Amino acid sequence: MTSLTVVAKPLLKYTSVGFQEASTVKDIWNESFEGSLTAKNHYWYGRSLGVAGGSAERNNTLDSGFEEVSSSSLNPYVNLPSWFLYQDSSDITIMARRVSNVHYDQSYSASVETKYIKVSTNFVWQTPSAIHSSCGYTGSPPSNTIDDNTATEWKHDVIESHWVIYDLGQAYYVKKIRVYCGVNRLDDVCVYVSNDPQNFGSPVIDFWDPPSQGWNESPAFFKKGRYIKLVFGTTLKEDKIDRAFYEFDAYVDASEAGHVSGGLQVPNEYFVKKQVYLSNNPSMASALFLDDAGPGTGLCEAYYLLVDVEIQNGTSTLHIVYTAPVTTLGSPSSGHFSNTTTVKYIYGVATINQWDVWKTFTRNIRSDYQSIWGPVYNATIGRVTIKNDFFNPKVNSETDTPFMKTNYDAVSIKLLSYGNEEELVNGSFEAPGWVKVQEWKLAVFNYTKDSSDSKQGATSFFMNVTGDTSGGSGSGFNATKHG
């Protein structure tokens, strides 16, 4: 054999908010296994995004050994070139790095941080549909405050702390309220939002004093609910309601984002066998570790960790999505997932009910496929994607958003019909992006970091490939590259 083309994906660029796929990088290696590695026959190229302006360049450093993809000063923390960044939409950002201090089975883990960053522009002023209940009235009812008429008012000639509960008709994300005051005004206004008119919990606004006659907007808050309760006094003597309260509106957004996710995806050509047939009985194992998550100053109904296996069967592209709900926060539910003809969710393969604890699961992909679609025929695994998934996130601040920080240990896919042969090289997160090409009879593909490496990865590595003599590739070779 005189030549071999090894494909490494992807070239990633480092930005202030994470990593993004920039282009495909090919490493061209023109020599026999017995030959030495020299600057004359080893180089990589791609449309690099460098400080100089992003022109297509060839790397001329070319020291002995392999050049690790994406090991430039622009992206010093990228150590997952065997997987590339994946996101459902531009509404999220992702940062991915490899960590060696957190692992499950003596491998490196992928640390994936996702943030939902899309601030909603769909808020509108809306008048509640009804009064649920109130403290009472004298002549003029509280429904006058939702008739869109600033000339009608609510009167209550009673000395007390007044209250009213408005019904929006459905649950909305509420950001603020406004009241229309007269020559007298409301004061010490406490605002509550809830889906339960019998249980409001803590106020979202405490003791707000509308400053003027006419419309007054409250300070901003952020909560989802159908009912809004006001508890207040007035500037009139003895806190009676008279020429004080004429109209009420809420600033709401009824739109929902649904599922928004991002993580890492393996290129389909990265598998040991170019075609991983389900008939060969593949078994997948995964380990998940939730480091941190939260809504920030926004909201998120539920959080999930997903492993999405894409399957090709003829012209059909199918997905089995293994779902691990996070029960430490939010309100996860199997009802958040809707199966389609081509996408099927298997809910609860693991439950993330603790912080900083590894959770594992193993699934036989062939068996799962058969229980859903029947005979596997010539179905093959296309690619695997690991995702942090938000359900109905909503952002109140561009700088304090819903987020998830997760460690995914090396995903394993083994073929039971081939003596448990591993199809994701070196547990997928450790190899520096070189594809083991099965047809060239490479028997061993080992990659280890040496003692000179930092915790989050320098460019040094040692890779040893042993040739299978039956394939005519020679006795083997090894290559070492440092920094």
Looking at the fold, whether 282 and 366 belong to one and the same domain comes out as yes
Task: Let me know if residue 415 belongs to a domain.
Answer: yes
CATH number at residue 336: 2.60.120.260
HEC string of 200-211 equals CCCCCEEEECCC
Coil, helix or strand at residue 144: helix
With contact defined as beta carbons under 8 Å apart, do 212 and 253 qualify? no
Looking at the fold, whether 422 and 408 belong to one and the same domain comes out as yes
* Residuewise pLDDT in 10s, the chain (483 residues): 333 343 333 333 333 333 333 222 223 222 222 233 333 322 232 222 222 222 222 333 323 333 333 333 333 333 333 465 667 777 888 877 666 677 776 556 777 888 998 888 889 999 999 999 999 999 999 999 999 999 999 999 999 999 999 999 999 999 999 999 999 999 999 999 999 999 999 999 999 999 999 999 999 998 999 999 999 999 998 899 999 999 999 999 988 889 999 887 776 666 777 789 999 999 999 999 999 999 998 899 999 999 999 999 999 999 999 999 999 999 999 999 999 999 999 999 999 999 999 999 999 999 999 999 999 999 999 888 899 999 999 987 778 899 999 988 768 899 999 888 878 754 444 433 333 223 333 333 333 333 333 232 333 333 333 333 333 332 333 333 322
Looking at the fold, whether 89 and 156 belong to one and the same domain comes out as no
Distance CA 146, CA 168 (A): 11
With contact defined as beta carbons under 8 Å apart, do 408 and 286 qualify? yes
Which residues have a Cβ under 8 Å from the Cβ of 208 and sit 6 or more positions away? 188, 189, 190, 191, 218, 219
With contact defined as beta carbons under 8 Å apart, do 429 and 150 qualify? no
Looking at the fold, whether 278 and 410 belong to one and the same domain comes out as yes
Q: How many domains does the chain have?
A: 2
Distance CA 209, CA 190 (A): 9
Looking at the fold, whether 111 and 143 belong to one and the same domain comes out as no
Looking at the fold, whether 246 and 319 belong to one and the same domain comes out as no
Looking at the fold, whether 188 and 284 belong to one and the same domain comes out as no
Please tell me the pTM assigned to this model.
0.68
Task: Let me know if residue 437 belongs to a domain.
Answer: no
Q: Pick from 210, 237, 253: which residue ends a domain? A: 253
Task: Let me know if residue 21 belongs to a domain.
Answer: no
Looking at the fold, whether 263 and 411 belong to one and the same domain comes out as yes
Looking at the fold, whether 302 and 322 belong to one and the same domain comes out as yes
Looking at the fold, whether 342 and 208 belong to one and the same domain comes out as no
Distance CA 402, CA 203 (A): 22
Structural domain span for residue 378: 82-119+258-431
Looking at the fold, whether 265 and 369 belong to one and the same domain comes out as yes
With contact defined as beta carbons under 8 Å apart, do 164 and 244 qualify? no
Q: Pick from 217, 235, 253: which residue ends a domain? A: 253
Coil, helix or strand at residue 77: coil
Q: Pick from 221, 253, 285: which residue ends a domain? A: 253
- 303 token code pair: 């959080």
- Apex 300 CA angle, 21 and 88, nearest 5: 25
Looking at the fold, whether 400 and 357 belong to one and the same domain comes out as yes
Task: Let me know if residue 3 belongs to a domain.
Answer: no
- Apex 110 CA angle, 47 and 386, nearest 5: 85
